[in-house]
Amino acid sequence: MGAAAETVVILAAGQGTRMRTSKPKVLAELCGRPMLAYVVEGALALEPQRVLIVIGKGADEVREKISTLFPDAPIEFVLQEEQLGTGHAVQCCSDSIDSTSRSVLILYGDMPLLRAETLMQLQQEYLEQGSRACLLTVHALDPRGFGRVIRSRDSSGSAGGALERIVEERDASPEQLALREVNVGVYLINTEELLRLLPTLQNNNAQGEYYLTDIVHALASDGGGVQPVVVADPEEAIGVNTLRHLAEARRGIQDRILERHLAAGVFIEDPDTTFVDWDVEIGTGTRILPCTVIRSGVRIGEGCEVGPFSHLRVGSVLDNGAEIGNFTETKKAHVGAGTKAKHLSYLGDVSIGSGANIGAGTIVANYDGVNKHHTDIGDRAFVGSGSVIIAPSTVGADATTGGGAVLTGGSVVPPGDVWIGVPAQSLADRKAKKGRGPDPSTEGAKP
């Protein structure tokens, strides 16, 4: 595409004091990944030559997370040791911005719902208008915390004219506070102008910070004009400053994820109570029933049924036609084709073959207090209700466990065998022993 923004700067150094949490704000999770990752993804869609991310609070953690998520992207990190404001954050990039690049796109790391298409639209306007700067504005229902867009009065006397300046909420007059057009915080600026104006920023405002928004005023007042581009959908401009905003942003991201699955032929009965992380694969014709949580990385085949009230955690894979029902939790569980675990089970660190039936209340106990162990359950196995299978254990193909059987760690149920009791042992062995009369030395011992 006609890349106007060869350089993208993303501001992500702030602590996020208003969140009242210790974690750096931009790493707050939304549907299984940090909010900053959504912003980085949007920026990368423009195929810029370089993305500079300004980091400060929790810098090492932010650098590590983002580098892991985008290993091949042209990302560089710039340290802002003291957070003296958004203008100061961009000042920290002055030396890193290539003065021969034509323009710089500046984004904030706490705006995860901005769509790549909107950034492209901004880029388009910038190229078409030939202005020195373009920025995104939005008509917000709730302008909480946003900088207000001040426009000049046009010939009719209404304040709908050219953009004059951005006034931060804390510096605004009651009249300005009543304005509903706000600054989204996305700017595309001619590189030369940006580098010329950055050193002129002052911090004489209510917060004693260097505001990036003052550059807008500088550009607008010397006649060059700053072109505002209005974002149609206010949801895109949900900025995350508090945990309340984080919950709103999560809802927005969640809706988009679910819409993608619905469009791909996944039946989701009640999107309002369905939680699916961003990188979950779900096959066509699968049904997701209410109150279900599906975490990052889970893969679900075609024609499956999950829920109501299921929790599929990291590393879970469901082959085609598998069914996981209410109050069943899976973790690192491979559930084979057509296998059913419909009620009240915990399936942790387990591979289950195809066509198996996992009875109500089955627990695969994977953790011995120190280590996790793996369990295998074969094709067509029938695990009786209330079975406890202590890992590591193996239940062979076509084998059966009786209701309430407890397979102690290291149990190996041969294919086709039937094991019952506590501790569980082969039914055939028990019968043979019964024929001989009880043997007190082995009765109740581990098979």
Our finding on whether 42 is near ligand UD1 (CB under 6 A) is no
Contacts of residue 403, defined as CB under 8 A and 6 or more positions apart, other chains included, come to 359, 384, 385, 386, 387
Radius of gyration of the chain (CA): 29
Our finding on whether 216 is near ligand UD1 (CB under 6 A) is no
- Closest approach of Cβ 118 to ligand UD1, in Å? 14
For residues 185 and 379, give the distance between their C-alpha atoms in angstroms, rounded to a whole number: 56
Our finding on whether 58 is near ligand UD1 (CB under 6 A) is no
Nearer to ligand UD1, 166 or 335 (CB): 166
For residues 25 and 381, give the distance between their C-alpha atoms in angstroms, rounded to a whole number: 48
Q: How far is CA 32 from CA 20, 275, 303, in A?
A: 20, 10, 25
Among 108, 126, 346, 382, binds ligand UD1 (CB under 6 A): 108
Among 32, 109, 112, 239, binds Ca ion (CB under 5 A): 239
What angle is formed at CA 153 by the lines to CA 152 and CA 154, rounded to 5 degrees? 110
| Strand 388-390 versus strand 363-365 pairing type | parallel
Our finding on whether 213 is near ligand UD1 (CB under 6 A) is yes
Q: How far is CA 319 from the centre of its chain?
A: 24
- Which listed option, Ca ion, ligand UD1, none, makes contact with residue 396 (CB within 5 to 8 Å by class)? none
Our finding on whether 91 is near ligand UD1 (CB under 6 A) is no
Told to judge if 261 belongs to the known catalytic residues of this protein, a careful annotator would answer no
For residue 26, the SS3 value is: helix
Contacts of residue 10, defined as CB under 8 A and 6 or more positions apart, other chains included, come to 36, 39, 40, 43, 51, 52, 53, 54, 106, 107, 108, 109
Bond from prior residue into 290 cis (ω within 30 degrees of 0) = no
Task: Give 395: exposed, middle or buried? Use CB within 10 Å, 0-12, 13-18, 19+.
Answer: buried
Residue nearest ligand UD1 by beta-carbon distance = 147
- Closest approach of Cβ 241 to Ca ion, in Å? 5
Residue nearest Ca ion by beta-carbon distance = 239
- Closest approach of Cβ 115 to ligand UD1, in Å? 16
- Which position among 217, 343, 373, 374 bears the catalytic label? 343
Among 89, 103, 110, 289, binds Ca ion (CB under 5 A): 110
- Closest approach of Cβ 134 to ligand UD1, in Å? 15
What angle is formed at CA 223 by the lines to CA 217 and CA 229, rounded to 5 degrees? 60
Bond from prior residue into 34 cis (ω within 30 degrees of 0) = no
Our finding on whether 89 is near ligand UD1 (CB under 6 A) is yes
- Residue span binding ligand UD1 (CB under 6 A) among the ranges 77-85, 153-161, 216-224, 351-359: 77-85
Our finding on whether 14 is near ligand UD1 (CB under 6 A) is yes
Q: Site size for ligand UD1, by CB under 6 A?
A: 31
> Active-site residues: which are they?
343
Residues that bind ligand UD1 (CB under 6 A): 11-14, 26, 54, 80, 83-86, 88-89, 108-111, 145-147, 166, 168, 182-185, 211-213, 239, 241
Residues that bind Ca ion (CB under 5 A): 110, 239, 241
